[in-house]
Amino acid sequence: MVRLKSPGHERLGQSGLLEMTFGGGEANVAVSLAGFGHQAGFITALPQNEIADACLAELRRFAVDVTDVRRCPGRMGVYYVEAGSNQRPSKVIYDRDQSCMALSGPSDFNWPVLLKDAEWLHLTGITPAISESCAAASIAAMKAARNLGVKISLDLNYRAKLWNWGKKASEVMPSLAALADVLVGNEEDCQKSLGIDVASDVASGEISESAYATLTESVLEQYPNLALVAITLRESISADHNNWSACLHDGKAFYRSCRYEIRHIVDRVGGGDAFCGGLIHGLLTETDTRRAIEFATAASCLKHTIPGDFNRVTAAEVEKLMPGDASGRVQR
Amino acid sequence: MVRLKSPGHERLGQSGLLEMTFGGGEANVAVSLAGFGHQAGFITALPQNEIADACLAELRRFAVDVTDVRRCPGRMGVYYVEAGSNQRPSKVIYDRDQSCMALSGPSDFNWPVLLKDAEWLHLTGITPAISESCAAASIAAMKAARNLGVKISLDLNYRAKLWNWGKKASEVMPSLAALADVLVGNEEDCQKSLGIDVASDVASGEISESAYATLTESVLEQYPNLALVAITLRESISADHNNWSACLHDGKAFYRSCRYEIRHIVDRVGGGDAFCGGLIHGLLTETDTRRAIEFATAASCLKHTIPGDFNRVTAAEVEKLMPGDASGRVQR
Amino acid sequence: MVRLKSPGHERLGQSGLLEMTFGGGEANVAVSLAGFGHQAGFITALPQNEIADACLAELRRFAVDVTDVRRCPGRMGVYYVEAGSNQRPSKVIYDRDQSCMALSGPSDFNWPVLLKDAEWLHLTGITPAISESCAAASIAAMKAARNLGVKISLDLNYRAKLWNWGKKASEVMPSLAALADVLVGNEEDCQKSLGIDVASDVASGEISESAYATLTESVLEQYPNLALVAITLRESISADHNNWSACLHDGKAFYRSCRYEIRHIVDRVGGGDAFCGGLIHGLLTETDTRRAIEFATAASCLKHTIPGDFNRVTAAEVEKLMPGDASGRVQR
Amino acid sequence: MVRLKSPGHERLGQSGLLEMTFGGGEANVAVSLAGFGHQAGFITALPQNEIADACLAELRRFAVDVTDVRRCPGRMGVYYVEAGSNQRPSKVIYDRDQSCMALSGPSDFNWPVLLKDAEWLHLTGITPAISESCAAASIAAMKAARNLGVKISLDLNYRAKLWNWGKKASEVMPSLAALADVLVGNEEDCQKSLGIDVASDVASGEISESAYATLTESVLEQYPNLALVAITLRESISADHNNWSACLHDGKAFYRSCRYEIRHIVDRVGGGDAFCGGLIHGLLTETDTRRAIEFATAASCLKHTIPGDFNRVTAAEVEKLMPGDASGRVQR
Amino acid sequence: MVRLKSPGHERLGQSGLLEMTFGGGEANVAVSLAGFGHQAGFITALPQNEIADACLAELRRFAVDVTDVRRCPGRMGVYYVEAGSNQRPSKVIYDRDQSCMALSGPSDFNWPVLLKDAEWLHLTGITPAISESCAAASIAAMKAARNLGVKISLDLNYRAKLWNWGKKASEVMPSLAALADVLVGNEEDCQKSLGIDVASDVASGEISESAYATLTESVLEQYPNLALVAITLRESISADHNNWSACLHDGKAFYRSCRYEIRHIVDRVGGGDAFCGGLIHGLLTETDTRRAIEFATAASCLKHTIPGDFNRVTAAEVEKLMPGDASGRVQR
Amino acid sequence: MVRLKSPGHERLGQSGLLEMTFGGGEANVAVSLAGFGHQAGFITALPQNEIADACLAELRRFAVDVTDVRRCPGRMGVYYVEAGSNQRPSKVIYDRDQSCMALSGPSDFNWPVLLKDAEWLHLTGITPAISESCAAASIAAMKAARNLGVKISLDLNYRAKLWNWGKKASEVMPSLAALADVLVGNEEDCQKSLGIDVASDVASGEISESAYATLTESVLEQYPNLALVAITLRESISADHNNWSACLHDGKAFYRSCRYEIRHIVDRVGGGDAFCGGLIHGLLTETDTRRAIEFATAASCLKHTIPGDFNRVTAAEVEKLMPGDASGRVQR
């Protein structure tokens, strides 16, 4: 997807410049994983034009394999974003209708072939939100992965503005959740996508640890295929200042991560994807689940300091933060 | 329409910046006319979002009345452009499918009311190209104008990439031409939109004056409602260097304008619209048709020196060029 | 007025770029009001050149009516600004001498005609500060407004660097205050323009509510024509971090608004004008004075997050903040 | 003087950026001379503010001695410029009224002290144009220089928009010319400042060598103090394309320089000053007058390729061009 | 190599910005070939730091395989460039001493393994110029290629400023030429690297076809291993305006390509590499040598229109130019 | 040294732009002192190219005398920097090997002549770190200064990445410290350069006043030539938020300065040099040592708000902050 951002803290349309980058849930996760040293590929559908070429080139830059991207009729999805500040929230305008991906369906991807050498499949709740055929393609991918023994993670990623094709998220997402091994979401995602509530106050940002333990247990109970459920916890003090942490239940125990106070947010779009990328890396490389969640949270914390959707950090940088050395001293 | 241009001579996607301006055939003509001191309004359909708000604000900046713009579901049309250079041609990528205007039809505009105080209506061949309902809305507007005695100009503006809704330009445009008072086009427009050929070689850019006299006479003969037909003549030496002139037949005589050698093109998009704006101004304010065509050609020549779709010049600046003082001395 | 700002946190003259925008007390208020949906006009005097044309175009962009702006000999006022940071204060250099407005006097504006359809007239203490004739023109405007029953608001806006034409603010402003219905100022304004003190410590930023209740009562007593006096309260922690609130006495009661902690100021110039624009909107549309002051304070709070003098916000955005939802969550 | 230019070929006010540099006739000449290795100083009057500080810093950067600049009440002069293109001329808007220099008079400069170690004094016709006191100060400087045996060059530099203080250039400049050793001007300068015509057609740009020989002889005859008169010859094909040469009479013979075709002008403002700087250097270092004029013309030719008023070239670069090696091969 | 260019036509150090891209002879050729659809790899030595990482990422973006790049102690080579204009030549400042590649020698690359699946090896005369060990590594690579039957092209690419390690180009390059199948150079390269002269006048740019036929024949005679020698012909009218063509002898016949007049050069650095990339593509895909040289010349012509070292064009774009359609009409 | 910074908070290599400025320990101190009104000179070695010319020009801009800079073979040192944010630290990549200064030794500078009119000599621990000959040159300079009675300050400035020439800092720096009158450093500097520890926890940032009193006393004891030792105290909360203060022992008493909370760091590189510049100014102009340390700390605090290495502030601005007026109110 093309991401068009007004510079700095300008409002959309204020000046004559837009920063063009590329982004989108699954792509962002692929970039994270490639940055941590994994072989990562990205599968989507794009039109046959120079803008789409530039998108593929950008992903290649991060060593993401894009050879399986489908080129077909349709548009390139676009989203406009302006960065909020203080009491003014950030704003996203989606322009994704009729994108190549929205027009794609299950018959357009030969999942058993595409996934045959894969170890892990990651999907987000944004894909099934954009069209009925996309929802069907998502389920087809997950079924093919299960057949091949490929692990599946699903980021619920509820976006109210996108669910316009006829069904509500809560009518669709449960059947995806039922196919996943790892589920990621925040409280609102669980509520809007799975209908599972937690007894806390999102707006205030106050978080009760026991409420989240209960939430993750409920999810694991209702979706017995799940090995693990992770919940991200964003406390939004202002558009520039969020506290960021996560918790996780791996069927055995409930963990709460470090909590990072991020007081000068540079770009928070892609923070959730950075968490997913970090979590998959953690689960693939660590034996201690607690370290996986700490890696994911630290990776995502660093994403907030980097312009653009992509998390341009190495595993070493994340690990340096994990023990909590966040003093920001110059390295020289 | 949002216009997204890569900076300078960069290829699309080369750098992380895009210049965002607004443009489009009829809007460009409205800006020209407002700049020459006329009361100009622009009628279209736009979505209810901040990008469309910015488009309207930009038109207001040029004193174009946008109070009659329809806000409705649909997208904002987008086009990407990169500036060519030397032997490398400029490139335009349209992303206009499902735009609000494409989804609009004749019942969406109350033309008799919208045009009731108007003196002149201008349309381009781009509008009927984008959808069947747009074509119908265009014809409805022209019929309403004729009923009210409002003069009509039509710029044929053939765009091969846009005629995708089922009919060819040559099946639609003749019925629009039959309703116009003033017709503007280049040789290719006449051929592709009206099926009327001229015996010259576009690629070489060599222009035979008599061939064009014959062409304009043929058009006037076939479309007896037309009071005047103007043909723009672009000789393309390279992407930076064009020669630009025009000719016209007003039923009485055939005129050929001055020919401007434009060796350092800054931005040629909108050049044809600048011609139309200049021609309408000329026909409204001059008694001598020859002066109208000279004004139109000079106005359009200056457009090539200004970044963006809009022709940011005053009538005085155009008139200063008309007699041929193009030496470019500093005014201080 | 042309506003020339060094980019980001650069010192003036540090780099070769200046950001050119336009601003000035009354213009900023007009932009605010137009943004909230009111018909707003701006009256001033500008030279006949392209810089002044650009200023008018910019105001038109925000739907401000500029048809009554006088074009006459003289300069375009300029001010240079650099944004402070942390312990380094922002700096403004005025270059307004001999501006068209400074050279204008009461006979240059036919106020009874200019104001005949107006509902409200807004003036600031900056206009009478720039020249003796400007002070006279200001008083003439206010008298004409009173005769026509047009409501008048006056923002005291004391600027020490500007009162150079021979009289002190305290010798001139009382006669303006005596003609107003609504008075706006901060503590220093009241002291320097009206000679009315409050017993608090501006530098420390500590604010005693009762002291302000007393201050507003004193003002209302001394200026019996006033229906309402509003005081803005800026607590300046650093150049990036201010707390912002306001209080008001409407003759019946004293109210104190919400207090906004603004920790990452983007641009605070124009904050007071945003308050005035919000207050006028509130008084015109709300029956509850308390809501008017809350709207004004919230509008002004948002201004601090937007580059440039103008408050590019809608009434809906301000209202969304008013109840206090300032968590800055992304809207998507 | 502050120079504010719209970027690239944008019209003034088109975008939100201005390029801020510094410039002005005598300053530009000083920078040229310092660049050629001479000890150069600049004397003017500037206000006590950060913008003026930045101007002095910029001159220091080029090793121009600014220790004798007067700091006093008044404004910093400003000029806005937009670069023309093709048939659209460049445009300059002066905003110099009430500048510190305009307010300065002969008593403000102690010329005998300021010039005591000087070898050469350069003045332009812009200084006497800005105010009566400036004209008087100019004459005082020249008289002091003559008394000290300091050589004097005068660039006539006629600017129609500036002569507003009551006298015409032709009433003032002859008394300055009568004090100079070296006079520089173009044809229009001679006509408007000294009333001496040449029989050629400026607009067409056609240049008759003999006419210029006659012109220079007339000037030398009327101003017997002059040792040398140089005329610059600009043939303006378009705003991007000028031919540039010069001629000179040193009392003994008439010479015509090389003629440079400059087809892609980057910035022609300051071209005349670059000529003067080159001429003074040539006269100070060369025994052959013909080489002096060739150096001056080549230096000025190079100025057209450099953004800003200042001619950022070394004597070696100019000399490399002089024999005519203008093929522009990369030096690597 | 890091390429640091001052923006637009600014002189180096004029403003506070540099455009950072990456480039270098062999890398540029690899990017060209990848752009034409070939599998291209790039072998060099780079330090272990973030700047080198960015270089590799940029090459990956163009689908160049960089997995065999050596990471080792040493610097990243840098070159500074400013774009000339008109009579002012472009300037390159090399800062390549002690680069990782300069410190590398034949034992650092296992050529038989690195080249085992290769079809073609391309080298330039820049690599042997930078150090003695680099020269040895170059020869080792060529010998390994010959043993494996990999075709070899050598671009002589003489750079006077680089041959500082003790031997002259003419003492080293002949032994490389003796190992190549295809040789590319211009007249100066042949003279300075191989000691083979042509009887023409480089400075004047006048080119005698027969002289070049003779030159190519001499080269083929002296280097019997060569199947083909190609000479690029740059006529330098000014820094903005070059004419560009090439000729070639394939042992059977001498061909002269089309000649392109490039009047508005955007960036000519990398033009020779674009020629080599085009030539290799032509030789790999065309049976007609004449078409290979036409493809190479057209590809290189287009490079002059694109900022940066890399030739961002597709084979289709080059082929579109080859028949000579260089009118630069907008594609829309 | 050339400083190349990625814009804003971008990672190195993220976008195609770098901000080029100049900096380096001793140069930064010279700029500070010149800004406070002292005659300051800078002595180093630079290559004979345009990048070095630009560096000298930039220093001249700040009125630093660069006439004694040596031009010789070698490179211009470069350092790349990216600004950290929140939990992400800033990063510096040095590219200084083989710089002209690294290649210079004691015989390249005639210190007795160079220092003959000097009052003060300032050196940093960076110079002896870059090469053995540089270390020798540093000692030679200090000895010459002592002989001439020139006061010497030494900033320990330990840089782990730079000490690569064979000796450790702790083997070299004590002999420099033994020659100085004033010593500046932080805790880590004292430990790594002089082997003198303090009993506190740098990472936590907690500072025990008595520990620092003891530290300074130890230093004074071991280096009896020292009249004064100053320790800077940086508490690093995050990359954007540091607390900054300093302490000092002048042989008579131990003082602790004000502590500045800097919550929105703009650019902290050069903060230590700004402290040294401020301290030297304080010691030269104040009789009260306590005021000297307060001036130094306030000057350094302001540096954190200004982009680039140089501290662009006046003594008046520093003094305005000293008493603690850091509320950041706009000055207008």
Q: What is the pLDDT of residues B137-176, one digit of tens each?
A: 999 999 999 999 999 999 999 998 899 999 999 999 999 9
Name the percent of chain C in helix, strand, coil, to the closest 5.
35, 20, 40
Question: Are A57 and E57 in contact (CB < 8 Å)?
Answer: no
Mean pLDDT of chain B: 94
Whether the predicted pLDDT of E205 surpasses 80: no
Q: Sorting pLDDT into bands at 50, 70 and 90, what band is F227?
A: very high
Q: What is the pLDDT of residue E197?
A: 86
Question: Are D98 and C98 in contact (CB < 8 Å)?
Answer: yes
Name the percent of chain B in helix, strand, coil, to the closest 5.
35, 20, 40
Average pLDDT, integer, range B42-53: 97
Q: What is the pLDDT of residue E187?
A: 92
For residue E189, give the nearest of E261, E124, E282 by alpha carbon. Answer: E124
Interface test with B, best of C61, C62, C313 (most B CBs within 10 A): C61
Q: What is the pLDDT of residue B197?
A: 86
CA distance D304 to chain E (A): 9
Question: Are E87 and D262 in contact (CB < 8 Å)?
Answer: yes
Interface test with D, best of E87, E130, E163 (most D CBs within 10 A): E87
| Residue F327, token pair as written in the block | 């509320």
Residue of C nearest to F332 (CA): C92
Average pLDDT, integer, range B222-236: 96
Average pLDDT, integer, range B69-96: 95
Question: Are C94 and F332 in contact (CB < 8 Å)?
Answer: yes
Count of CB atoms within 10 A of residue D314's CB? Answer: 14
Judged on CB neighbours under 10 Å (0-12, 13-18, 19+), F230 is: buried
Please answer whether residues E87 and D260 qualify as being in contact, where contact means their C-beta atoms are separated by less than 8 angstroms: yes
CA dist E150 and D111 (Å) reads 79
CA dist B318 and E50 (Å) reads 54
CA dist A2 and A49 (Å) reads 13
CA distances from C276 to A110, A295, C68 (A): 62, 49, 22
CA dist A139 and C65 (Å) reads 56
What crossing angle do the helices spanning F271-285 and F289-303 adopt, rounded to 10°?
150
CA dist E232 and A25 (Å) reads 48
Residue of E nearest to D8 (CA): E8
Q: What is the pLDDT of residues D170-200, one digit of tens each?
A: 999 999 999 999 999 999 999 999 999 876 5
Whether the predicted pLDDT of D328 surpasses 60: no
CA distances from A126 to A58, A130, C22 (A): 21, 7, 42
For residue B299, give the nearest of B330, B283, B275, B280 by alpha carbon. Answer: B275
Average pLDDT, integer, range B19-26: 96
- Alpha helix segments (H runs only) across chain D: 25-35, 50-61, 100-103, 111-114, 126-130, 132-148, 169-177, 187-189, 209-222, 271-285, 289-303, 315-321
Question: Are F308 and C11 in contact (CB < 8 Å)?
Answer: no
From chain D, pick out residues whose CB is under 8 angstroms from the CB of C4: 4, 18, 20
Q: What is the pLDDT of residues F266-303, one digit of tens each?
A: 999 999 999 999 999 999 999 999 999 999 999 999 99
Q: What is the pLDDT of residues D208-254, one digit of tens each?
A: 788 999 999 999 999 999 999 999 999 999 999 999 999 999 999 99
Please answer whether residues E57 and E64 qualify as being in contact, where contact means their C-beta atoms are separated by less than 8 angstroms: no
Interface test with B, best of A78, A82, A267 (most B CBs within 10 A): A78
Q: What is the pLDDT of residue B198?
A: 77
- Kindly state the percentage of chain D with pLDDT values over 70: 95
Residue of D nearest to E90 (CA): D330
Judged on CB neighbours under 10 Å (0-12, 13-18, 19+), E53 is: middle
Q: What is the pLDDT of residue D327?
A: 56
For residue F259, give the nearest of F215, F313, F205, F308 by alpha carbon. Answer: F205
Q: Sorting pLDDT into bands at 50, 70 and 90, what band is A197?
A: confident
CA A263 to chain centroid: 22
Answer left, alpha or beta for residue B170, where phi above 0 means left and psi between -120 and 50 means alpha: alpha
Q: What is the pLDDT of residues F10-66, one digit of tens each?
A: 999 998 999 999 999 999 999 999 999 999 999 999 999 999 999 999 999 999 999
Q: Which of D11, D13, D49 sits opposite C93 (nearest CB)?
A: D49
Q: What is the pLDDT of residue F209?
A: 83
Whether the predicted pLDDT of D322 surpasses 70: yes
Q: What is the pLDDT of residue C209?
A: 83
Q: What is the pLDDT of residue E14?
A: 94
Q: What is the pLDDT of residues D26-39, one digit of tens each?
A: 999 999 999 999 99
Q: Sorting pLDDT into bands at 50, 70 and 90, what band is C206?
A: low
Chain position carrying tokens 């001479």? D38
Helix (H, G, I), strand (E, B) or coil at F270: coil
Interface test with C, best of A3, A87, A126, A192 (most C CBs within 10 A): A87
CA distance E36 to chain A (A): 14
| Residue D213, token pair as written in the block | 């020989």
Q: What is the pLDDT of residue D276?
A: 98
Judged on CB neighbours under 10 Å (0-12, 13-18, 19+), C312 is: buried
Residue of F nearest to A21 (CA): F15
From chain B, which residues contact C within 8 Å (Cβ)?
Answer: 57-58, 60-63
Q: What is the pLDDT of residue D198?
A: 78
Question: Are B328 and D240 in contact (CB < 8 Å)?
Answer: yes
Question: Are D61 and F61 in contact (CB < 8 Å)?
Answer: yes
Please answer whether residues B190 and B173 qualify as being in contact, where contact means their C-beta atoms are separated by less than 8 angstroms: no
For residue F321, give the nearest of F267, F244, F266, F268 by alpha carbon. Answer: F244
- Kindly state the percentage of chain B with pLDDT values over 90: 91
Q: What is the pLDDT of residues D52-98, one digit of tens each?
A: 999 999 999 999 999 999 999 999 999 999 999 999 999 999 999 89
Average pLDDT, integer, range A159-177: 95
What single-letter amino acid sits at D242?
N
Interface test with C, best of D14, D17, D50 (most C CBs within 10 A): D50
Q: Which of A11, A18, A49 sits opposite B20 (nearest CB)?
A: A18
What single-letter amino acid sits at C187?
E
Pairing type for strands E78-82 and E91-95 reads antiparallel
From first CA to last CA, the distance across chain F in angstroms is 37
From chain E, pick out residues whose CB is under 8 angstroms from the CB of F54: 12-14
Q: What is the pLDDT of residue E198?
A: 77
CA dihedral defined by E265, E270, E272, E276, rounded to 10 degrees? -130
Q: What is the pLDDT of residue D143?
A: 98
CA distances from B315 to B38, B250, B292, D181 (A): 11, 23, 12, 46
Q: What is the pLDDT of residue C328?
A: 56
Mean pLDDT of chain D: 94
Q: What is the pLDDT of residue E268?
A: 95
Using CB atoms, which chains have 3+ pairs under 8 A with D? A, B, C, E, F
Average pLDDT, integer, range E247-258: 95
* β partners of residue A121: A152
CA distance C15 to chain E (A): 7
Q: What is the pLDDT of residue A198?
A: 78
Q: Enter the pTM of the model.
A: 0.94
From chain C, which residues contact B within 8 Å (Cβ)?
Answer: 57-58, 60-63
Average pLDDT, integer, range A237-242: 96
Whether the predicted pLDDT of B326 surpasses 80: no
Residue of E nearest to A314 (CA): E50
Question: Are F328 and C91 in contact (CB < 8 Å)?
Answer: no
CA distance E2 to chain C (A): 24
Please answer whether residues F114 and F143 qualify as being in contact, where contact means their C-beta atoms are separated by less than 8 angstroms: no
Kindly tell me the sign of the dihedral angle through the C-alpha atoms of B307, B309, B314, B317. Answer: positive
From chain E, pick out residues whose CB is under 8 angstroms from the CB of C18: none
Whether the predicted pLDDT of C119 surpasses 80: yes
- Interface size B-C, in CB pairs within 8 Å, comes to 16
From chain B, pick out residues whose CB is under 8 angstroms from the CB of F15: 15-16
Average pLDDT, integer, range E33-58: 97
For residue F312, give the nearest of F277, F265, F264 by alpha carbon. Answer: F277
CA distance E85 to chain C (A): 21
Q: What is the pLDDT of residues E274-329, one digit of tens each?
A: 999 999 999 999 999 999 999 999 999 999 999 999 999 999 999 999 975 555 55
Whether the predicted pLDDT of C332 surpasses 80: no
From chain D, pick out residues whose CB is under 8 angstroms from the CB of C78: 78, 95
Supply the Cα-derived Rg of chain B in whole angstroms: 19
Whether the predicted pLDDT of C201 surpasses 60: no
From chain E, pick out residues whose CB is under 8 angstroms from the CB of A58: 61
Q: Which of B57, B62, B63 sits opposite C62 (nearest CB)?
A: B57
- Interface size A-F, in CB pairs within 8 Å, comes to 91
Question: Are C75 and D95 in contact (CB < 8 Å)?
Answer: yes
